[in-house]
Amino acid sequence: MRKTKNGKREGQVRVERKPKIEYLGQYKVSRSDELLEFLLRKCNTSRNNVKAFLTRRQVLVNGSLVTQYDFPLAKDDEVKICKVAAPKQTPTVKHTATSVKRELPKILYEDEDFIAIDKPVGLLSVESDKERDCAYARVLEYLSVKDKKARPYILHRIDKETSGVLVFAKNIKLHSMLKMRWNELVSLREYCALVEGRMEKKEDTIVSYLKEDGNHLVYATKDPSGQKAITHYEVIGESGEYSLLKVRIDTGRKNQIRVHLRSVGHSVVGDEKYGFTKDPLGRLGLHASALTFKHPVSGETVSVRAPFPAEFRKVVGQKK
């Protein structure tokens, strides 16, 4: 994919940038709660003033505007109070004529407890300080159309540059139970990766410790003071310049797959963060293809799959 005069790739996803917002307070939720009661404990002000924050459109939960007093909060939610009313383009819980409608990514699975989407490349899982649009906001809008009190609960995240399976809980109790036993209940976290070069070993396990430097870049080390990371891979296709891998991870560390594959000399294609040299896709060559876990109450297996992208297979000469 060639670049335009300003250095951007043609066809690259255009990112909607947030206007700069100043906050009166920013809080991380440590346990299940209701929004009004949570703010009353965090803010050194009266109940009427806290209610005013909500009615004046000043409260964001995971980047989405909330005005509902009894909005349910879950562990690890982020609550922010804006100094002034949030911008009109802010994703909102209530579906009104002034809401900004955003396309819902393809739904891969949905029942009364969970919803899973095929997150497109270029979309954040949850909002950041630089970008407001995210998968959480789109799923939230979709659920709130049916029930204004409904909301998704964040179980896990995948990188903005990575596409594929992203699962949210619909029930706060299930969310808490899964988060507490995530590594025990999740039996499969599978990805496909397109990497540079031909792998010397067609199947292997990479084990190392991961640390983060001052520039927030993760690197692999033998130092056990880092976070232990385990990545399994299998070559399922290759050409002269590239290898297509099926990857399974036992640990979900930040940028784990990208860092591990680079550490063995085969960077994921298009990985601007970790030193790619080839970019046949015009995007990062990483896709979350499957997530399987046990329902914490019923014990039933929930398995969600997003097919390998056809463009990944095409690079190594596979039709499907």
Q: In whole angstroms, give the CA distance from residue 296 to residue 5.
A: 52
Render pLDDT for 116-141 as a digit per residue (tens, 0 to 9). 999 999 999 988 767 778 999 999 99
At residue 133, the pLDDT reads 85
At residue 264, the pLDDT reads 95
Catalytic (active site) residue 133: no
At residue 128, the pLDDT reads 77
At residue 320, the pLDDT reads 67
Query: Is the Cβ–Cβ distance between 154 and 176 less than 8 Å?
Result: no
At residue 90, the pLDDT reads 77
Render pLDDT for 167-196 as a digit per residue (tens, 0 to 9). 999 999 999 999 999 999 999 999 999 999
At residue 97, the pLDDT reads 39
Average pLDDT over residues 95-99: 43
The secondary structure of the chain in percent helix, strand, coil, rounded to multiples of 5, reads 20, 35, 50
Asked if pLDDT for residue 86 goes beyond 60, the answer is yes
Spatial neighbors of 206 by CB under 8 A, at least 6 apart, are 229, 230, 231, 232, 233, 260, 261, 263, 264
Please report which helix (H) or strand (E) contains residue 311, including its range: helix 310-315
Q: In whole angstroms, give the CA distance from residue 76 to residue 155.
A: 10
At residue 101, the pLDDT reads 58
**DSSP annotation of 143:** H
Q: In whole angstroms, give the CA distance from residue 316 to residue 240.
A: 8
Query: Homologous superfamily of 23-175 in CATH?
Result: RNA-binding S4 domain (3.10.290.10)
At residue 8, the pLDDT reads 47
| Class for the domain spanning 181-315 | alpha beta
Asked if pLDDT for residue 84 goes beyond 80, the answer is yes
Render pLDDT for 253-285 as a digit per residue (tens, 0 to 9). 999 999 999 999 999 999 999 988 999 999 999
Asked if pLDDT for residue 319 goes beyond 80, the answer is no
Q: Name the band, by pLDDT with cuts 50, 70 and 90, for residue 35.
A: very high
Q: Name the band, by pLDDT with cuts 50, 70 and 90, for residue 222.
A: very high
User: Could you tell me the residue ranges of all domains in the chain?
Assistant: 23-175, 181-315
Average pLDDT over residues 134-155: 90
Average pLDDT over residues 2-19: 49
Give the gyration radius of the chain's Cα atoms.
21
Q: Name the band, by pLDDT with cuts 50, 70 and 90, for residue 17.
A: low
Query: Is the Cβ–Cβ distance between 90 and 60 less than 8 Å?
Result: yes
**DSSP annotation of 147:** -
Q: Name the band, by pLDDT with cuts 50, 70 and 90, for residue 4.
A: very low
Q: What percent of the chain shows pLDDT beyond 90?
A: 72
Q: Which of 33, 77, 133, 159 is catalytic?
A: 159
Nearest to 281 by CA among 261, 311, 308, 244: 311
Query: Is the Cβ–Cβ distance between 261 and 193 less than 8 Å?
Result: yes
Neighbours of 171 (CB within 10 A): 16
Query: Is the Cβ–Cβ distance between 242 and 278 less than 8 Å?
Result: yes
At residue 1, the pLDDT reads 45
Query: Is the Cβ–Cβ distance between 184 and 306 less than 8 Å?
Result: no
If you count DSSP H runs as helices and E runs as strands, how many of each does the chain have, helices first?
7, 17
The average confidence (pLDDT) of the chain is: 89
**DSSP annotation of 201:** S
At residue 304, the pLDDT reads 97
Asked if pLDDT for residue 115 goes beyond 90, the answer is yes
